[in-house]
Structures are given as structure tokens and as C-alpha cells.
Amino acid sequence: MTIAEFRGESGSIRLPPRRDVPLSARIVEVIDHPVFQRLRRVRQLGPLALIYPGATHHRFEHSVGVYGLAIEYLRALLRDPLAKSLTEADLLTCLLGALLHDLGHYPFAHSLEASHVGDLKPPRHEVLASELLYGRIRLQGDTGPTLASVIESRFSVAAEDIVSIIAQKSWTHARPERRLVASVISSGMDADKADYLERDGLHMGLPFGAQFDRQRLLSSLVVHPDGERIALAPGGRVAGESFIFARYAMFSEGYWHHTARAVAAMVEEALRDHRRRAPLSDASLIEQLVQLDDDRFLEHLLTQSPEGSASRALLSALTHGHRRLYKRVLTLTLAFDEPSLRTAYDRVYYLDRAQLDALRARLREVVGGMTGRRIQPWELLIDTPPRDKDHVEEIELVQDGVAQALSRSSQIVRGVAGDFVKVVKKIRVFVAPELREALDAKHGRRDVQQRLVEAILDFDADPDAQQRLL
């Protein structure tokens, strides 16, 4: 099946690394809409530009890149007889979903989503995409037709279908064909991951994201025997293994690098403090966020932060040319052999927000005793890895009509999956740089770690908390 989007009848957009994305006239209309152009103002990696100077690329570049890869995925799938039931509407819904999957992103979205205070919790960016698509949230100066109306008039597909393919898990769609194309956007080896691994690695200066064999992955792409998701032919085995390893390496050395997590923890705590003092409704906060870029958002928060507040102290360390990043004083992982360290990890990992705040207060007391001074609440932060990334998503191989998870036959994949949880998912205690210097001047690093671990093990948390969270 050939559609205008495959032909690139209106030219192309060139993206790094030297990739041309074909454009149709109607896709150009979507890209030129103010709601999509807004993504030029939202950095792909938020505060990570403070660590990786080249990581200033934006959601716009990534979104167009995912769209381009989705075209390649669909072309590959259409070679498979199992894809013959896909309709033009299925293909267009997939391509528009790929292009618009990050439409609802806003500055520091991941940090803000994690910074809820009480009952205030901003909507996830997938949900906000619907508000922007239908024009329920309007950008300043945008008085033209909504993006939903452009899509429905130019593509003859329902805007609600685009919303569902962005917001729903791939396996929840009613039709198997829609589940299949949804897996192109969200699965163990989807176009979204394939693009951000390579693109983020390029801009961060890390080699890992480009080390999987994209061409082999595409040439081996097939439809799963159930007709509901993408899989790989046997010749794509190594490409699948390298894809999983690339994601592992990018999280280990990039997204969850200790300095990257320190900056994220600082921004998250500044946002929490701001919301405690200025409890805007989620709707009002989002109305502000969609009008601002990353730097203007931090500046906006700083101007509203009084002297002596956590947000003033933390944002002053990240703005106006300052770069005073927090430092580690304790790292916990499940890779430790010593039982007490593994127990400390479990104790912290399953605490809820209120309990984490109570533990922070206790650790400040310990550090205060070691330095001989009162520790301000914002001078010590605890960073716990996201609980929704507890596993490596499966990639399946299909041979002679039978599908099998790659992890069952690949020791490499099993090892990477185990190490992702045991090694990459770290809990860290960060302190202000001057506080780390004070600790180093009076105590050895090992002594500091031992006292913090003892305080964690002695911490009296709600005994039912772990069971509620498991």
C-alpha cells in the first residue's frame, strides 16, 4: 500500500545525523501548526544540558525523527503478508501518532510529574496532548483552526484515534490492526526508543545510542504471529540484543548518570517548594507552562521565590550562569553483597513521599551532627529511580511461525535485564556542594556512608508502606 506520506511529495526535513524525513503537503500543515511548533521551545532532555553541553535539542526534532522512523517501520511491516489487513486509516493513525506522541510535553515535564504536593499532580504529557490537540488549551496568539480539525479534514481520520494511540498502551486497542501499528510507537523496540537513543546519544556525545544496527533491525522486522505487534525474524537477533544493550548503556551513562540525577533532583525539589508556597491548580499551572521554554520557566520560578526559600536556593544554583550541582554522599544499589546495604536500598525504595520527607529530616540531623551546623531542608535530597522502569521490555523473535521472547534464548538480554534493575537503578543521597566539602574536611567518605546507612536502617517507617506499594 502506498500513501502520500511514503513518497515525500513535498520534499523533506533534514535531521541529524544526516537523515532526511519525507514530507507530504498535509503533514507539513500539521508540522506548521502553532501547537506543534511549540515543541521547538521544549528541550528534549530538560536540565541535562547543564551536564552535556550539546544536549540542547528539542522535542520538535525528536518528534519529526520518530515520524520518519515510523515510515520506515511501516514500509518494513508491509512486506509481511500478516500486515495485509492494515488500512490506510491504520497507517495514517500510526504516522500521526508518531509525529504527535510528545505533543503534550512541557518544560521539565518528567520532573514536574514527580513533584506533586498533596492532591496537586499535573497531568501526564500524554493527557495534555489531547487538550492541545482539541484547542481546550490555547497558545497566545493562536486563533486559527485547532490541530484536531486540520487532521480530520486533511486525513479523514478521527482525532480521537490519534489521542488514543498516544495515550493508551498498545495492547489495549480494540482491533488487532490498531494494536499492531500502536506497537510501532510503544513496544520493546519501537520507533520512539530507536530515535531517542540515537538522537540523545549524538547530542550528549555518548556513543551507545548509535551502536544498535538500525538497518538490520528494520530489515528483520515482521508481524508477530498473533498479528497484534511487531517482532523480529531470526536474522535480527543481534540487532535486538544490541538495541537492548544500547538502552541499558544510555540509562546507565546518560539519563541516570549521577550528575544528571542530581540536577533532576534539584529541579524537582524546587518545583515542590514552589507549589507548596503558591498552590496553583494543575490547570492554571499547565496554562503557564505551555507558553514558556525551559529557561524562561526556571526564570519565572526564580522571580517568584523569596529569599530563604528552597526554590530560591536551588534555582540560583542552576540559573544566571551558575552551575553549583549537588554531590553524592551515599549510593545504594541491589548489586551490593553486604545484606545491610541491600536492606537499606529496599527500605528507601518503597517509602512514599511523606516517609521520604521524614527520612530526609532524619538524615539532615545525622549530617548536622557530623558537621556541627544546622542543615537547611533543601541542602539534602534523596533521589529514588522511577518505579515504572523495573524491567526491560521484551523483544520477540519469530521462526517458523512460532514467537519466543529474546530473553529466553539470549544470555546477553537476561544479563542486561538483571543489571538494569540491580546496577543502573541506584538510590542516591545528594547534598549541597559546600556541605559535601564540610563532610570531607571532618570525616572520611566511608564513615559518612556508614552513618547514613545506619540511620536508614533505624528509620521507623510505617510497617504497612512496603506492602501497599508492592
Q: pLDDT at position 85, please?
A: 95
Per residue in 76-102, pLDDT tens? 999 999 999 999 999 999 999 999 999
Is residue 291 in some structural domain? Answer: no
- Among 137-141, 196-200, 427-431, whose mean pLDDT is lowest? 137-141
200 in the same domain as 158: yes
Q: Is residue 87 part of a domain?
A: yes
Alpha carbons 45 and 108: distance in angstroms, whole number: 8
pLDDT at 245 over 50: yes
331 and 411 fall within a common domain: no
Measuring CA to CA, which residue among 70, 54, 47, 46 is closest to residue 17? 54
- Model confidence at 284, pLDDT cuts 50, 70, 90, reads confident
- Does residue 159 fall inside a structural domain? yes
Answer yes or no: do 240 and 363 share one domain.
no
Is pLDDT of 279 > 80?
no
The CATH number of the domain holding residue 146 is 1.10.3210.10
Name the domain count of the chain.
Answer: 2
Residue 262 inside a domain? The answer is no
Give me the mean pLDDT over the 374-392 stretch.
85
Are 42 and 172 part of one and the same domain?
A: yes
pLDDT at 107: 86
224-228, 317-321, 454-458: which range is least confident on average? 317-321
Are residues 250 and 354 located together in one domain of the fold?
no
* pTM as predicted: 0.92
> Average of pLDDT values for 55-83?
97
Q: Are residues 155 and 218 in the same domain?
A: yes
Whether residue 141 has pLDDT greater than 70: yes
In this predicted structure, what is the pLDDT of residue 470?
38
181 in Cβ contact with 165 (< 8 Å): yes
Write down the pLDDT at residue 215. Answer: 95
CB 135 within 8 A of CB 148: yes
Q: Comparing C-alpha atoms, which of 28, 23, 29 is closest to residue 9? A: 23
d(CA 191, CA 390): 21
| Predicted confidence (pLDDT) per residue in 148-159, tens digit | 999 999 999 999
- Quote the pLDDT of residue 282: 64
User: What's the pLDDT band for 462 if we cut at 50, 70, 90?
Assistant: low
User: What pLDDT was estimated at residue 467?
Assistant: 44
**Is 335 in the same domain as 200?**
no
Within a domain: residue 153? yes
Give mean pLDDT, residues 397-401.
95
Q: How sure is the predictor about 469, in pLDDT bands with cuts at 50, 70 and 90?
A: very low
Tell me, yes or no, whether 62 lies in a domain.
yes
Indicate whether 376 and 412 sit together in one domain.
no
Q: Is residue 301 part of a domain?
A: no
| 382 and 409 fall within a common domain | no
DSSP 152-209: HHHH-S-HHHHHHHHHS-GGGSSSHHHHHHHHHHSSTT-HHHHHHHHHHHHHHT-SGG
67 located within any domain: yes
Q: Are residues 413 and 466 located together in one domain of the fold?
A: no
Both 245 and 357 in one domain: the answer is: no
- Domain containing 166 equals 4-257+400-418
Max mean pLDDT among 49-53, 225-229, 278-282, 293-297 falls in 225-229
With both helix axes pointing from N to C terminus, report the angle between 125-133 and 147-155 in degrees, rounded to the nearest 10: 70
DSSP string, 429-467: EEE-HHHHHHHHHHS-HHHHHHHHHHHHHH----TTHHH
Q: Are residues 52 and 126 in the same domain?
A: yes
Residue range 171-229, pLDDT digits in tens: 999 999 999 999 999 999 999 999 999 999 999 999 999 989 999 999 999 999 999 99
